[in-house]
Chains A and B, each alone.
Chain A
Amino acid sequence: MTDKHTEPEAQPTQEPDSAEGHRPRSYGQWRKDRIDRLAESGSIADEDGVSLWQSAWRRLRRDPVFLVGAGIIAVFVVVAIIAPFIAPHDPTRAIPELRAQITPSTPIPPAQPGHLLGGDNAGRDLFSRLLVGSRQTLIVGVLATLGGLTGGMVLGTLAGGIGGWVDSAVMRIVDVMLSIPSLLMAFSIAALFARPSQWTVILAIAIIQIPIFARLLRGSMLSQRHSDHVLAARALGVKPTPIVFRHMLPNSVGPVIVQGTLVLAIAIIDAAALSFLGLGNPDDTVPEWGQMLGKAQTFFNTYPHIAVYPALCIIVVALGFTLMGESLREALDPKSRR
């Protein structure tokens, strides 16, 4: 049974001319429409005998936006992996020579030979912290995204796989969550924890992504319900659970990758905003860009560079993920292929 009658707007958009955000009825609705379109995109397996991925790749190869984004991300990931080996200094410990330069009126050691960007307010090498910070930033982004994905997958498969009242109930909750601005929700969740840490930041950001992934996966599954391979499997007597896991989920990979890429960017930016409001990880031993930026606010007027460097890193990487995500979205979108 489909839920066509209970929630028609949840169906992948039916009007052939409806573009992204066309006639949104509310902020939540606009977000829903975006997600639904994406959900639909991955499920169309074939078109003119060319596989979706081949066709997408053909387009992406020539798309400068995608190439720039992918390039940024590639560099970022490589740096994140090798950073601890190439960092000139230990980013977690104060360098005695830098720490000796800290006085109440000069709290930030300036750039100098051996310390490309100088030190931070605890006498640690800023350049090393930026390099190594990429790793923790990547970890926060990836874990928050994976957390959101896992939560969303559970809800989405429950809703899309079982249907009926489970579907209605789950989707009602998801829709309510979607109608709340995600950053406000992240502030609220992060504020709940008595002991903020890296994990509470990750958790807060993961939770706000759950409804997005849930709706995405459910939409993707619904659109596959009547596709040939699912109907065939059902005709062959395959039980519902294996159908969901073996046939439906794998086909949702495309939209999930797109959304995951976009969410990674948001996660990194939101982590910075949380830190700015004092809701981030208080322990700054292991560097992370968002935290470095959030904690640099006291020095912004006197020593802006210690805020500007992590901010630039965040902006460039977030831009990289967004460029990649948006161009992937367009490439996978059957409508934009005409």
Chain B
Amino acid sequence: MINRKVAAVAGTAALALALTSCAESERDDGDAGGGDAGSATDDGGSTGEDAGSSDAQFVFGAAGAPTTFDPFYASDGETFRVTRQIFQNLIGIEEGGTEGVPELATSWEGSEDGLTWTFELQEGVTFHDGTEFNAEAVCANFERWADQNEVGQSQAVAYYYGNDFGFGDDSLYESCEATDDLTAEVTVTRVTGKFPMVLSQSSYAMQSPTAMEEYNANDVQAEGEAFVYPEYAQEHPTGTGPFVFEAYDNAGGTVSLTRNDDFWGEPAGVQDLIFSIIPDENARRQELEAGTIQGYDLPNPVDWQSLEDNGNQVLIRDPFNILYLALNPVADPQLEDPLIRRALYHAINRETLVQNQLPDGATVATQFFPDTVSGYNTDIQPYAYDPEEAEALLAEAGAEDLEIDLWYPTEVTRPYMPDPQRIYDAVRADWEAIGVTINPVSRPWAGGYIDGTQSSQSPAFFLGWTGDLNSADNFLCAFFCGDDNQFGTSAYDWHGELQDALREADGEPDEAAREEMYRELNENIMSEEWLPGLPISHSPPAIVVAENVQGLTPSPLTAEDFSTITLSE
């Protein structure tokens, strides 16, 4: 093999030498004789003439590659982190919060019946390709969303649109009309609490109609066992945001953006924004300490202290998530007995768990969404940690020798669950203390865990959710909607009541009434009779940046805007 390798190297070398005349460095500076291997800023020839902003380079360590650069076809954080810098939405998200605020729309107003919404648009905005942003462009985007081929309509492709609007005749979207240059009127088919705030989600970014047409933005295909995204999504994402897409280097695992010098708002504080894909968390941390990257997301809470000790800034976001332990009676009929479910809940010492296993700022959960979401019920009394009560309940249920499969995922970190193994360890210890026998089942995230928990194979398992927007439905429906949801609620006689309540609350146009309905629903869900699962905690995910990074505001939705970043020497 060495011979082959040598031959291959030699062959490539020969070829390369033959090409040397044209194999010039593509660098701007042309002269690379400096030997400054550690230097991170290297863009002497760039066009950054803006006197106010620095020509600095910010490198962020991403955990994975973006799936596409068209946010409409994405549903994962790694993609959105990049697209949020390139694109903007009609409705933005308040800095450091979860509320919708004006962005490309300066204001909006709903009609009496709640079906027609009028958006007044920001003036003087152009897309990166020079196309003017106006009401026509807004409607082109709405039309484009609705006009998806069969593949585009798949859950794995246009996930958010499929969930929030839906395709075809049942779609929430009715029409869009440009009543004048800067006024767009959007009509929806039914009243829902989430419109128009739903438009603040990254997927509903405004994209250049010209670029979308030129590069066939809607031409997504299923080929073999994968989706093939059109040229637009791979190479030409065109928005109005503070950064312009420059290149994606597959082999090297880097996404490069540059400052949009014609940005209508405050220009970005750095000239180059580079996302370096480093899948291994330890490696991200070491790169930060070595100074080759200036920040990364979701540092392990174990490292928070030492990261700060070394001069880095660990920015903690407000928790906007929920970690819960689901109990599925379809997977294990014993769990149909509410006494057993209550016993298992009383046995968990959530205070200690949150204190010892979760990062600072984590709180004990009393219901299935955090208190910042409207519909949160402050009256719900938490299930007390009471092992004696738990044992008594088990005895009452005649299940003193209860045996249960407890699932946890391996090789994965979620914002709500930084280290699944440790949370599992804590719960196992608590349950064993009341005499329950635990059969641990651990599966890789995509290697059976998601499959098992969603197909009701796992009696007890840890899962969670990070909210997409300030909406009770966004949390509760993800957990409990449908006849084969992950909690297996169809096995309970109150399943129908639950489904009706979810549907009615979401369809209620009046905000106050809707809030009250969710408050009541939360109380029912946590009642001794229902209790389909055990909410455990809300924990704050962190983002870490180097000492010289200023101006980054952590976002509870993990929707940070990198354009506010500046670097000091």
List A residues at the B interface (Cβ < 8 Å): 94, 99, 102-107, 121-122, 194-196, 278, 282-283, 295, 297-302
Contact = CB atoms under 8 A, between A and B. Distances in A.
B356 A122 contact: no
Contacts of B302: 104-105, 107, 298-299, 302
A257 to B, nearest CB: 34
B444 interface: yes
B411 A103 contact: no
A278 B409 CA distance: 11
Given A104-B304, A301-B285, A121 B410 contact: no
A107 B426 CA distance: 13
A103 B441 contact: no
A282 B442 contact: yes
A102 B423 CA distance: 13
Interface of B: 282, 285-286, 300-306, 355-360, 410-411, 419, 421-422, 425, 429, 440-444, 448
Given A104-B359, A105-B305, 5 more contacts: A99-B356, A104-B304, A194-B443, A278-B411, A298-B300
Nearest to B426: A122
A39 to B, nearest CB: 28
Given A122-B425, A302-B302, A102 B285 contact: no
A301 B410 contact: no
30 contacts: A94-B429, A99-B356, A102-B356, A104-B304, A104-B356, A104-B358, A104-B360, A105-B305, A105-B306, A105-B360, A107-B302, A121-B422, A122-B422, A122-B425, A194-B443, A194-B448, A195-B441, A278-B444, A282-B410, A282-B441, A282-B442, A297-B282, A298-B300, A298-B419, A299-B302, A300-B282, A301-B285, A301-B286, A301-B303, A302-B303
A94 B429 CA distance: 8
A99 B419 CA distance: 16
A268 B307 CA distance: 35
A195 B440 CA distance: 10
A300 B286 CA distance: 12
A102 to B, nearest CB: 5
Contacts of B355: 103
A104 B286 contact: no
A278 B449 CA distance: 13
A173 B410 CA distance: 35
Nearest to B304: A105
Contacts of B306: 105, 302
Q: Give the top 8 A-B pairs by smallest Cβ distance, nearest first.
A: A282-B442, A105-B305, A104-B301, A283-B440, A122-B425, A104-B359, A278-B411, A107-B302
A282 B449 CA distance: 13
B281 to A, nearest CB: 8
A278 B410 contact: yes
A102 B419 CA distance: 14
Interface hub of A283, A301, A302 (most chain B Cβ within 10 A): A301
Nearest to A106: B305
Contacts of B305: 105-106
A11 B300 CA distance: 57
A98 to B, nearest CB: 11
A195 B425 CA distance: 18
A104 B429 contact: no
Q: Is the interface of A mostly helix, strand, loop or mixed?
A: loop
B282 A105 contact: no
Contacts of A107: 302, 422
Contacts of A122: 422, 425, 429
A58 B322 CA distance: 69
B356 A103 contact: yes
Contacts of A102: 356-357
Nearest to B356: A102
A220 to B, nearest CB: 32
A94 B357 CA distance: 14
B69 to A, nearest CB: 31
Contact of A104 (B282, B357, B440): B357
A278 B356 CA distance: 24
A56 to B, nearest CB: 37
A302 B411 CA distance: 19
A278 B420 CA distance: 14
Contacts of B411: 278
Nearest to B357: A104
Contacts of A94: 429
A221 to B, nearest CB: 34
B301 A105 contact: yes
Nearest to A100: B356
Contacts of B286: 301
A106 B358 CA distance: 12
Nearest to B301: A104
- Which of A102, A104, A105, A107 has its CB near the most chain B CB atoms (within 10 A)? A104
A210 to B, nearest CB: 26
Nearest to A303: B302
Contacts of B444: 278
Contact of A301 (B282, B356, B422, B442): B282
A295 B282 CA distance: 14
A6 to B, nearest CB: 29
A282 B441 CA distance: 7
A283 B424 CA distance: 11
Contacts of A297: 282
A121 B443 CA distance: 20
B183 to A, nearest CB: 51
Nearest to B280: A297
Nearest to A104: B301
A302 B489 CA distance: 43
Contacts of A121: 422, 425
Contacts of A194: 443, 448
A278 B429 CA distance: 22
Q: Which of B282, B302, B419 gathers the greatest number of chain A CB atoms within 10 Å?
A: B302
Contacts of B300: 298
B387 to A, nearest CB: 14
A328 to B, nearest CB: 32
A85 B468 CA distance: 54
Given A105-B304, A121-B422, A298-B300, A282 B282 contact: no
Nearest to B410: A278
Nearest to A108: B302
A165 to B, nearest CB: 34
A102 B429 CA distance: 15
Contacts of B425: 121-122
A122 B355 CA distance: 14
A282 B422 contact: no
Contacts of B285: 301
A301 B305 CA distance: 13
Contacts of A196: 442
A280 to B, nearest CB: 10
B71 to A, nearest CB: 31
A282 B440 contact: yes
Contacts of A299: 302
A121 B285 CA distance: 20
A299 B301 CA distance: 12
Contacts of A278: 410-411, 444
B433 to A, nearest CB: 10
Contacts of B442: 196, 282
B443 to A, nearest CB: 8
A301 B280 CA distance: 13
A122 B422 CA distance: 7
A299 B300 CA distance: 10
